[in-house]
């Protein structure tokens, strides 16, 4: 059935995930939802130096929010910060250099951040798709380290700060690719069998959906959501999926279109009227499994994922300096 699921996902994606899908969906948007003033609220965006992260940060800055850009590359991040300040006139833009694939760095950053700042909204946008199996300096498979463990540690490390805030939210940028993956907790670091970077990425994105659902159950004072931005023309897509980009480049969404639902989830009052823990596309909650797909997991597997990630995270926290 895997070929069938892939085919269904691709056909569905051609229709809904492209620029045309966004244009069709956006006819039903209420512009007033995002025409809000968020001055005095603090937002943290990971992977904010390009693509959907930068587009999101820029739109929040236009609305007066204090924006913390968490980026890996200092040079590119400084250029992005300058662009955001110049285009929006908002001076409350702060830059933090953190490698989300490095769990020790995340713990160190989060500890310092909690002592110096407040936080209302966390946007987990940083991600990667490495097409060959590659290990970090900590011996972690890089996709898992960035997309899953990095997201887990950043969120759990900042939850104490978020739980003190008014109208606290966590938004994670996932992918429709997760629809072709069933949660697999037996090989989190993709060390068994042939390595397919696209499918590893999709598995990580399935894990992010499970994380969001589990966090929503455990932390009632914070509104959690996860979303699919559609197929957008971003530097990450161009570098990680060059063949896909060449085939689809005339139909891809703009970065701003890809970021629209992130912005809506981050600033609108309408978003938090919906239950915590849902998966969104174009401002609407959508199903997390295709019809008739064999991608559902038993609850014990989802709970086991949380337990395994907590064990990973604590291991790196114990050796974190400071």
Active-site annotation, residues: 201
E-state strands within the chain: 42-46, 66-71, 93-97, 121-124, 168-173, 222-227, 278-281, 284-285
The overall longest dimension of the chain from CA atoms, in Å, is 52
Question: Which phi and psi (to 5°) does residue 96 adopt?
Answer: -130, 125
What beta strand segments (E) does 230-300 contain? 278-281, 284-285
CA distances for 173 relative to 75, 178, 219, 261, angstroms: 24, 12, 19, 10
Of 228, 123, 215, 209, which is closest to residue 169 (Cα–Cα)?
Answer: 123
Dist CA 93 CA 91 (whole Å): 6
Q: Which residues partner with 64 through β-bridges?
A: none
Q: Which residues of 14-43 are buried (b: 16+ CB within 10 A; e: fewer)?
A: eebbbbebbeebeeebeeeebeeebeebbb
DSSP state of 31: G
Tokens of 115: 């002592």
Helix then strand then coil, % of the chain, to nearest 5: 50, 15, 35
Angle between helices 51-62 and 255-267 in degrees, nearest 10: 50
> Which strands sit side by side in the sheet containing 168-173, from one edge to the other?
93-97, 66-71, 42-46, 121-124, 168-173, 222-227, 278-281, 284-285
- Residue 153 in contact with residue 183, Cβ under 8 Å? no
Separation of alpha carbons 52 and 28, rounded Å: 22
């Amino acid at each position: 059935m895997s070929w069938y699921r892939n085919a269904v996902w691709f056909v569905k994606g051609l229709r809904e995930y492209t620029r045309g899908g966004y244009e069709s969906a956006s006819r039903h948007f209420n512009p007033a939802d995002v025409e809000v003033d968020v001055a005095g609220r603090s937002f943290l965006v990971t992977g904010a130096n390009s693509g959907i992260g930068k587009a999101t940060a820029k739109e929040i800055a236009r609305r007066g929010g204090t924006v913390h850009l968490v980026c890996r590359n200092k040079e590119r991040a400084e250029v992005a910060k300058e662009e955001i300040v110049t285009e929006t006139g908002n001076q409350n833009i702060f830059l933090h250099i953190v490698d989300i694939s490095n769990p020790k760095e995340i713990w160190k950053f989060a500890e310092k951040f909690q002592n110096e700042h407040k936080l209302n909204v966390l946007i987990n946008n940083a991600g990667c798709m490495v097409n060959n199996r590659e290990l970090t300096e900590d011996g972690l498979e890089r996709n898992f380290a960035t997309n899953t463990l990095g997201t887990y540690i950043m969120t759990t490390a900042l939850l104490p700060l978020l739980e003190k805030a008014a109208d606290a939210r966590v938004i994670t940028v996932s992918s429709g690719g997760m629809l072709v993956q069933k949660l697999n907790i037996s090989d989190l670091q993709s060390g068994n069998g042939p390595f397919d970077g696209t499918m590893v990425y999709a598995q990580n994105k399935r894990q992010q959906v499970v994380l969001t659902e589990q966090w929503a159950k455990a932390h009632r004072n914070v509104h959690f959501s996860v979303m699919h931005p559609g197929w957008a023309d971003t530097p990450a897509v161009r570098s990680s999926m060059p063949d896909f980009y060449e085939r689809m480049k005339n139909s891809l969404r703009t970065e701003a279109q890809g970021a629209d639902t992130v912005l809506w989830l981050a600033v609108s009052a309408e978003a938090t009227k919906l239950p915590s823990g849902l998966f969104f596309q174009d401002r609407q909650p959508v199903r997390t499994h295709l019809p008739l797909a064999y991608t559902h997991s038993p609850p014990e597997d989802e709970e086991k994922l949380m337990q395994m990630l907590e064990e990973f995270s604590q291991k790196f926290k114990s050796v974190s300096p400071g």
